[in-house]
Amino acid sequence: MRKRQLFAVLFVIMVSPAWLFGAGTVSGKVTYTGTPAKQKPIDMSKEPSCAKQYTTPVTTETIVTGPNNTLQNVVVYVSAGAPDESTAPTQAVTFTQKGCRYLPHVLAMQTGQQVKVLNEDQTSHNIHPLAKVNREWNKSQPPGTPPLSEKFDKEEFIPVKCNVHPWMRGYFAVLKTSYYAISGDNGSFSLPSLPPGKYTITAWQEDYGTQTQDVTITGSETKTVDFTFKAKPY
Amino acid sequence: MGKVFAVILVVIALASAVPIITHTWYGSRISLSPPEDISTHGHAIDEQLSETMIEAGLLFLAAQSLLAFFVWTFADPKDDTEIKTFPGGARAMVITALVLVGTEILALGVFGQKAWANVYFRPAAPDALEIQAQAGQFAFYFRYPGVDGKFGQLHPDKIDEGNSNFFGLDPANDVESRDDIVAGELAIPVQREIHLLMHAKDVGHSFYVRELRIQQDFVPGLDLSVHFTATKVGKYEIVCTQLCGLGHYNMKAYLNVMSQDDFEGWMKQKVSEQ
């Protein structure tokens, strides 16, 4: 009987350290120094049904900047220190093809989580995640067909392209952890509900690569971790 | 029964006569003729094709009629004796037929060569506007040398389509490539000779503009080129006519023939976007 109680207490400690000791947050900003490459206009004249959806020219999204030298679309995640998560969330993430572009440009998900791919265009798309660690696949999706559903089992940053429209480019960030965020309009991110512990935080940008920083959370506190990437003009 | 075959032959001959006759009815609604020619060389090709159609068509009709006549006359013999030899001997007739058909084919070849070789083997004028065309699965891209008039080097390892680097330029190290203009449409000035340098990125493709009367394959590893002068402002479709893979049906671009002023404006706009 006593053993069972002990196990129950241990179990509670294991599964809900945040509840017991308070949860910390890591937040910060992603910025750049230098001159980022000028984004190129995308010529969609080959696909009039997409081209007519834009009044101003759309550009590539390799580097998306915000005010005060901030960087968007940077995946910030806990790369070491977080407890292993054996189950993937049941909620699927959505990747939409609209106006011959990918929305969002960078989509983060957990390993084993379903990704739902939608085609909202009047034209056929061909979704081709260029996976190297995971299984590579390549599926055609004509207009009006139901969403595709797929998942990835291993951690990887996967470029996604459309075989029919060469300018289309997106990224799947498949992560082992549920502690991730993507920097928003003003380059800021926040990783809440982190139990006390030592963590390695990694920031990934599709062109500039990765940066890591270590951080220790001791209780319910907010630690600031900022990342600065060096921009290249070309 | 033989008479039925003869009638069928005549019906086939008459049906075949429709495209042979209508191909010359330019501009009419039931015309099977090619669309309006907008190039300086296209008329020679049209004339040659028309000539070929008429000559080969007439010979075809004559042969069909003759065949129908013989079938009608000789298909149902009254006695069952087997015909062993052609009545009157066939050697002279066969030789005559061979010589006539051979001469016709040779003549078509020789005269046709003039229309085609005149475009293909004559080099482009030195002041022709050079544009590089790249075909890749499944889109065409066009590169203009930019303000400096020089094309930057190509580095296939630098190709990054998500970053709009379709040609594999290296602007970080190669100054000449920095002002190169890459477009998804082929914009050209009217009445100016264009020298199109053709480059295949992956597999075989083809450049076909019906109105220009030009069809030329892209062959990986070969530097091919065509030259032409467009004579009419407008927007025309460029299609790939070499089966190149899954998205072949969707591989197209537009040829945008503009007045000299409009072209300069377009160029300025593109330069400002670089």
8 Å CB contact between A230 and A34: yes
Closest Cα in chain A to B185: A45
B166 touches chain A (CB under 8 A): yes
Closest Cα in chain B to A51: B184
Question: What is the per-residue pLDDT for B199?
Answer: 93
Closest Cα in chain A to B140: A46
**A7-16, B18-27, B169-178, B205-214: least confident range:** A7-16
Q: Domains in chain A, ordered, with CATH?
A: 20-80+180-234 (2.60.40.1120), 86-176 (2.60.40.420)
Same domain, B69 and B156: no
Q: What average pLDDT does the segment B159-177 reach? A: 88
CB contact under 8 A, A46 and B162: no
pLDDT reading at A10 higher than 70:
no
Handedness of CA B56, B60, B63, B66 (dihedral sign): negative
CB contact under 8 A, B161 and A167: yes
Write out chain B residues lying below 8 Å of A166, CB-based.
136, 138-139, 161, 166
Q: Write the CA distances from B193 to A53, B41, B126, B190, integer angstroms.
A: 34, 11, 10, 8
Cβ under 8 Å to A: B residues 185-224:
185
β-bridge pairing A65-66 and A114-119 = unpaired
8 Å CB contact between B181 and B146: yes
B136 touches chain A (CB under 8 A): yes
Same domain, B261 and B196: yes
DSSP secondary-structure letter at B165?
B
Question: What is the per-residue pLDDT for A29?
Answer: 95
State whether ipTM is beyond 0.95: no
Taking the C-alpha atoms of residue A103 and residue A93, their distance in angstroms, rounded to an integer, is 11
Write out chain B residues lying below 8 Å of A165, CB-based.
139
E strand or H helix at B65: helix B42-74
Write out chain B residues lying below 8 Å of A128, CB-based.
none
Q: What average pLDDT does the segment B162-186 reach? A: 89
pLDDT reading at B227 higher than 80:
yes
Tokens describing residue A163? 């075989």
β-bridge pairing A106-110 and A169-175 = parallel
The reported pTM is 0.80
CB contact under 8 A, B184 and A234: no
A8 pLDDT band, cuts 50/70/90, is: low
CB contact under 8 A, B253 and A45: yes
pLDDT reading at A223 higher than 50:
yes
Question: Which residues of chain A are at the B interface, by a Cβ-Cβ cutoff of 8 Å?
Answer: 38, 40-47, 57, 60, 62, 123-124, 126, 140, 159, 161, 163-169, 207, 232-234
Q: What average pLDDT does the segment B186-211 reach? A: 94
Same domain, B49 and B142: no
Distance from CA of A130 to the nearest CA of B (A): 12
Same domain, B172 and B222: yes
Q: Where are the alpha helices (DSSP H) in chain A?
A: 2-15, 17-21, 48-51
Question: What is the per-residue pLDDT for A18?
Answer: 47
- Mean residue pLDDT across chain A: 89
- Cβ-Cβ pairs closer than 8 A, A with B, add up to 64
Write out chain A residues lying below 8 Å of B183, CB-based.
43
Question: What is the per-residue pLDDT for B207?
Answer: 96
pLDDT reading at B223 higher than 60:
yes
pLDDT reading at B32 higher than 70:
no
Distance from CA of A125 to the nearest CA of B (A): 9
Question: What is the per-residue pLDDT for B39?
Answer: 92
pLDDT reading at B128 higher than 90:
yes
Distance from CA of A234 to the nearest CA of B (A): 5
A1 pLDDT band, cuts 50/70/90, is: very low
Question: What is the per-residue pLDDT for B45?
Answer: 87
For Cα atoms A32, A100, A62, give the angle at the middle one, nearest 5 degrees.
Answer: 15
Same domain, B258 and B167: yes
Taking the C-alpha atoms of residue A170 and residue A163, their distance in angstroms, rounded to an integer, is 13
Give the domain-ending residue among B120, B140, B173.
Answer: B120
CB contact under 8 A, B162 and A60: yes
Distance from CA of A54 to the nearest CA of B (A): 16
The b/e string for A33-53 (b: 16+ C-beta within 10 A; e otherwise) is eeebbebbbbbbbbbeebbee
CB contact under 8 A, B163 and A207: yes
Same domain, B98 and B135: no
B161 touches chain A (CB under 8 A): yes
B164 touches chain A (CB under 8 A): yes
- For A53-63, how does the pLDDT look when each residue is reduced to its tens digit (9 = 90+)? 999 889 999 99
Same domain, B174 and B73: no
- Mean residue pLDDT across chain B: 87
Q: What is the CATH number of the domain that holds B192?
A: 2.60.40.420
- Proportion of chain B above pLDDT 90, given as a percent: 45
Tokens describing residue B80? 């069952």
- For A72-95, how does the pLDDT look when each residue is reduced to its tens digit (9 = 90+)? 999 999 999 887 777 889 999 999
Token pair 């005060």 in the structure block, residue: A68
- For A131-180, how does the pLDDT look when each residue is reduced to its tens digit (9 = 90+)? 999 999 999 999 999 999 999 999 999 999 998 899 999 999 999 999 99
B87 pLDDT band, cuts 50/70/90, is: low
Same domain, B150 and B206: yes
Question: What is the per-residue pLDDT for A11?
Answer: 54
pLDDT reading at A209 higher than 90:
yes
Burial of B192 (0-12, 13-18, 19+ CB in 10 A): middle
Write out chain B residues lying below 8 Å of A159, CB-based.
162
Q: What's the domain count of chain B?
A: 2
pLDDT reading at B3 higher than 90:
no
Distance from CA of B178 to the nearest CA of A (A): 9
Question: What is the per-residue pLDDT for B163?
Answer: 83
CB contact under 8 A, A43 and B185: yes
A7 pLDDT band, cuts 50/70/90, is: low
Same domain, B103 and B164: no
Same domain, B142 and B111: no
Structural domain that includes position B245: 129-273
The b/e string for B227-258 (b: 16+ C-beta within 10 A; e otherwise) is bbbbeeeeebebbbbbebeebbebbbbbbbbb
Same domain, B261 and B146: yes
8 Å CB contact between B209 and B255: yes
pLDDT reading at A213 higher than 50:
yes
B163 touches chain A (CB under 8 A): yes
Same domain, B59 and B141: no
Closest Cα in chain B to A41: B273
